[in-house]
Amino acid sequence: MGGHPAVSKVRLSGKETLTRMAHAFDQEDERFLQRALQLAELGGNRTSPNPLVGAVVVKHGKIIGEGYHTAAGCPHAEPEAIARIADPHDLKGATLYVTLEPCNHFGKTPPCTDLIIRSGISRVVIGTGDPNPQVNGIGIKKLLNSGIEVILAPDPKPYDRIIQAFTKGILTQKARVILKWAESSNGLIGYSDQRILISERRSQIFTHRLRQANTGILLGAGTILVDNPRLDTRLVAGHNPTKIVLDPQGRIPSQHPFFQLPGKKIYLNAQNTSPDIFQSPEALLAWLYQVHQINSVLVEGGAFVLNWFLKANCWDEIYRILSSKSIPETDQAVKAPEIVVSEMQLEIHPLGKDAVWHYTRRENSFPEVPVNLKLN
Ligand code: AOF
Ligand code: ZN
């Protein structure tokens, strides 16, 4: 029993419920929960510090309402989906598919469990548990105790994956960090005196997709001065991340075009912020999460900033885009950062003529969220 994937992560004392969950998740459940997953991802980089969550309400095999958490402070996925249902009577006996365990606490919004119980929904299929200690297992227990059938997805990975930034934030009070750079076939990432495009268009689209999925984008002053980047998501749908620039020596002049770029910016120099945040990448990530509610940061360069994170062994994921082209090795050429740590796994994905080398932490790239649940 304990080995069945549908139940292995749930510590339950009620055997009856365990058995039911092990057999109750079918292909239709899988399909609707995947639809909820697609919806969740529409939250892009707007929900921080909250998670991405999607929900679908199904009656007689048909979707009658869909919704997702659009932004922190806005309604949760479940009330969004329920609000789309034309006739509330349809909710009686309906199934709710939700990527994350429904909350049972008052935050900026009221508990979703109360709404679900009131609505007449009789079955709730959940992607994964909520790592928030205020919710973890308590939301599920509330539903079970009010007679609602609760099913957990046999494989929580896809649902854990979309909340990785939320999970790290809520458990460590630090932002998740993703390093990204494009590297020529001869191991260079650019020049210290001029802008150069190393990757091809498909890789740029890929980069913009990363940008729309992360709350912040972080760069050093050198990259701003040399590249004059726009740091937006113009090649894809979605919103621009907050632009975070580290300039401890105050090298960027006040009339630089960076300051005219649209959207949120956090410009950090020695005068306008506490020197502590320049002490270590970990200190910076804690500050970004705790002061700005930024739970994920994409670090796009340059070499100095990337190496700062790598040397401190401070990263959650790395995207290294390898071009098939070489570029001239001048005196101004900047060498690609070196990845020295060993406890990681690597997947290589071809992308046109480039290849994306994707490094994740071996030990917990998608930490499974254990559901702490004891039934009465
Ligand atoms: C859900 N559905 O769509 C989300 C949930 O301040 P609040 O009221 O927005 O609550 C935030 C917490 O609620 C967050 O830390 C997480 O535990 C949960 N997020 N829960 O049932 C949702 N976004
Ligand atoms: Zn909720």
Ligand 1 centroid to 50 CA: how many Å? 6
Q: Kindly state the average pLDDT of the residues 175-187.
A: 96
Task: Look at the pTM and tell me if it is higher than 0.85.
Answer: yes
Q: Which of 66, 78, 80, 101 is catalytic?
A: 78
Locate the ligand 1 atom nearest the alpha carbon of residue 110 and give its number. 8
Please tell me the distance from the alpha carbon of residue 231 to that of residue 233, in angstroms, as a whole number.
7
What pLDDT does 11 receive?
47
Tell me the pLDDT band of 22, cut-offs 50, 70 and 90.
Answer: low
pLDDT, tens digit, 9 for 90 and up, residues 83-104: 999 999 999 999 999 999 999 9
Give the pairing of strands 176-183 and 188-191: unpaired
DSSP string, 307-332: HHHHHTT--SEEEEEE-S------TT
What's the 3-state SS for 44-90? CCCCCCCCCCEEEEEECCEEEEEEECCCCCCCCHHHHHHHCCCCHHH
Alpha carbon distances (Å) from 45 to 50, 240, 284: 10, 8, 19
Which ligand has the shortest distance to the CA of 96?
1
pLDDT, tens digit, 9 for 90 and up, residues 225-255: 998 989 999 999 999 999 999 999 999 999 9
What's the 3-state SS for 84-110? CCCCHHHHCCCEEEEEECCCCCCCCCC
Q: Kindly state the average pLDDT of the residues 193-197.
A: 87
Please tell me the distance from the alpha carbon of residue 371 to that of residue 339, in angstroms, as a whole number.
35
The better pLDDT of the pair 6, 82 is held by 82
H-helix segments, the chain: 15-23, 27-41, 77-83, 112-119, 138-145, 157-161, 164-172, 201-213, 221-227, 281-292, 303-311
Give the burial string for 199-235 (b: 16+ CB within 10 Å, else e): bbebbbebbbbbbbbbbbbbbbbbbbbbbebebbbeb
Q: Which amino acid is at 66?
A: E
Ligand 1 centroid to 240 CA: how many Å? 23
- State the Rg of the chain over Cα: 23
Q: Please choose from 48, 69, 76 the residue to mutate so as to test ligand 1's pocket, defined by most ligand atoms within 8 A of CB.
A: 76
Q: Are 253 and 229 in contact (CB under 8 A)?
A: no
Please tell me the distance from the alpha carbon of residue 119 to that of residue 78, in angstroms, as a whole number.
11
Ligand 1 centroid to 168 CA: how many Å? 15
Which ligand has the shortest distance to the CA of 69?
1
Ligand 1 centroid to 221 CA: how many Å? 36
Angle at 307 between CA 301 and CA 312, to 5 degrees: 130
Please tell me the distance from the alpha carbon of residue 354 to that of residue 226, in angstroms, as a whole number.
24
Please tell me the distance from the alpha carbon of residue 368 to that of residue 131, in angstroms, as a whole number.
9
Please tell me the distance from the alpha carbon of residue 301 to that of residue 225, in angstroms, as a whole number.
12
- The number of beta carbons lying within 10 Å of the beta carbon of residue 266 is 18
Tell me the pLDDT band of 17, cut-offs 50, 70 and 90.
Answer: low
What pLDDT does 365 receive?
64
Alpha carbon distances (Å) from 2 to 40, 126, 138, 165, 167: 30, 19, 21, 29, 25
Contacts of 34 (CB under 8 A, 6+ apart): 158
Nearest protein CA to atom 3 of ligand 1, as residue: 76
Nearest protein CA to atom 22 of ligand 1, as residue: 76
Please tell me the distance from the alpha carbon of residue 33 to that of residue 25, in angstroms, as a whole number.
10
Nearest protein CA to atom 20 of ligand 1, as residue: 103
Locate the ligand 1 atom nearest the alpha carbon of residue 113 and give its number. 21
- Name all residues whose Cβ lies below 6 A of ligand 1: 50-51, 53, 69, 76-78, 100, 102-103, 107-109, 112, 130, 132, 135
Active site residue 78: yes
Ligand 2 centroid to 297 CA: how many Å? 25
Which ligand has the shortest distance to the CA of 133?
1
Nearest protein CA to atom 4 of ligand 1, as residue: 76
Please tell me the distance from the alpha carbon of residue 151 to that of residue 129, in angstroms, as a whole number.
11
Taking Cα atoms as reference points, which of 174, 167, 198, 182 lies closest to residue 297?
Answer: 174
pLDDT at 21 over 70: no
Ligand 1 centroid to 111 CA: how many Å? 8
Please tell me the distance from the alpha carbon of residue 53 to that of residue 97, in angstroms, as a whole number.
11
Q: What is the mean pLDDT of the chain?
A: 90
3-state secondary structure of 26: coil
Q: Kindly state the average pLDDT of the residues 298-310.
A: 95
Nearest protein CA to atom 15 of ligand 1, as residue: 50
Nearest protein CA to atom 14 of ligand 1, as residue: 50
What pLDDT does 372 receive?
73
Q: Kindly state the average pLDDT of the residues 147-162.
A: 93
Q: Kindly state the average pLDDT of the residues 60-82.
A: 97
Locate the ligand 1 atom nearest the alpha carbon of residue 47 and give its number. 23
